[in-house]
Structure 1
């Protein structure tokens, strides 16, 4: 333990209690040389001089450099100006596509929030307020969804899936760099040919 109380206890043991530096060193489990260092520091600067120094690093290697912060803000503003998705995942994709190291999406979100570029979300409803919808019979209702994912090399892939809402049967799942409306319609037509049309 290297607390100010410990160092001051060493000073008091020698100066006030008149104990020898050798005995004090043995009592505190340190070298006699260290006792003299503490005494000399106290003589030169008082109690503050023997207070332990912070062990926190002077630099933070994980901190996002100012240049990268500015680039994140610039990308956000450009995407927003063009009416495109400007979320942290998309910003990370653009950074990686340009060969730059991207911080985590949570770090990007914090940077955007600090710059006032993210509006705080309203308080979410409790889960108990949601009403779960489920079709009563198979083929009563199909759901389609497109999910954006990023591969390990940073490539963005869109995943299109169709699901029967009653049985949760996965009718189809396909991946592409992007899906157009006609491609989605073509996949729906193929599924109708295979399974028959859903009620909705």
Structure 2
């Protein structure tokens, strides 16, 4: 029997005074009167200790918020996107709602039976993360397989910034070749600047290292060497080195699984461009403090190859020959036109410029197409010295 009941019985049934009961049981006279009042109104059980829980909680998650959390979970899962508590909280903020804590969101999902326990999952404390300090310090690249609606196999080539997880390029080919790797790399570099280094596996489209160097460097290695970019390759049979892009492939395929299966390569690339926008601009990343990759990529100055430091007289430029077989280059404050030849029209080239000396090579094969010294008296730099001089504009 509880102490409260004993006090009530001592006064009510044994004739003990309120003062004596308070003294004997070490409580105040006011508390004895309160116990007697409760017993008179609700019986002996009414004197038992009452819960101190408040009758209302202004911070309690509302039914509307709970419903939206569950709806968001369903929408994100259906779309093949991350649907964890952190991501749900980020989407609630974007909708102008004040999200509850992530632990509350997790509890709501768990109560609704929407979280599957993963007891064998590797603990976070066992992971050792390595991250570049700046955007463009390291680009990771790899490709993964994906089948079209008729079962045709395709290969999706990706370039991912190591620092920000920004998806620089995501394109499907059938199949990926060293030529497509070089072309995609140069197109990406033209848009985002050159990286200081790359990190890939040892696939033949990236390196001939494991082939014993037979045939020399491939086209990708040649371009990196010419541009002063450090090439890094993971250890054989150790994909953890490229962990970020390996994990990215899971995210990509989960999203693709939630989409209608593409019938053509063009359809698939349209889907990939849509995914690239979502991944970079509409999907927060836990490793980035809930920022999007686009925000993280833009927040810090970009790194550059060691040969592209400020004050270096060398310039490196990736360009494309126009339909008339010409390139343009600004020299001494004036735009110069350089003749390459119609046979090279639409071709991607690498231009290495040192003062007035220019070396132009095929961006895919590394073959030198033309070497020249800019004539400051000419606008058009002809292929042959006897070609007619073009008047200045």
Pair 1:180 & 2:177 matched: no
Pair 1:50 & 2:47 matched: yes
Deviates more, 1:118-127 or 1:12-21: 118-127
5+ residue gaps, structure 1, are 134-142, 147-158, 164-171
Could you say which residue in structure 1 is the equivalent of 2:196? 190
Higher-helix-fraction structure: 1
2:88 to 74, 86, 91: 91
Pair 1:25 & 2:22 matched: yes
1:36, CA displacement in angstroms?
3.6
Pair 1:12 & 2:46 matched: no
Looking at structure 1, the residues matched to 57 and 71 of structure 2 have their Cα atoms a distance apart, in angstroms, of: 24
TM-score by length of 2: 0.34
Deviations 1:87-139 (A, max 9, x none): 22221111111111112222222222322333332523689xx9x99xxxxxx
1:113 to 110, 117, 120: 110
5+ residue gaps, structure 2, are 140-160, 170-183, 198-223, 235-393
1:57, CA displacement in angstroms?
1.6
Looking at structure 2, the residues matched to 30 and 174 of structure 1 have their Cα atoms a distance apart, in angstroms, of: 65
Higher-strand-fraction structure: 2
CA contact (8 A) 2:8 2:35 kept: yes
CA contact (8 A) 1:21 1:32 kept: yes
Structure of higher CA gyration radius: 2
The number of equivalent residue pairs is 164
Looking at structure 2, the residues matched to 173 and 54 of structure 1 have their Cα atoms a distance apart, in angstroms, of: 53
CA contact (8 A) 2:4 2:47 kept: yes
Could you say which residue in structure 1 is the equivalent of 2:121? 124
1:76, CA displacement in angstroms?
1.8
Looking at structure 2, the residues matched to 92 and 19 of structure 1 have their Cα atoms a distance apart, in angstroms, of: 60
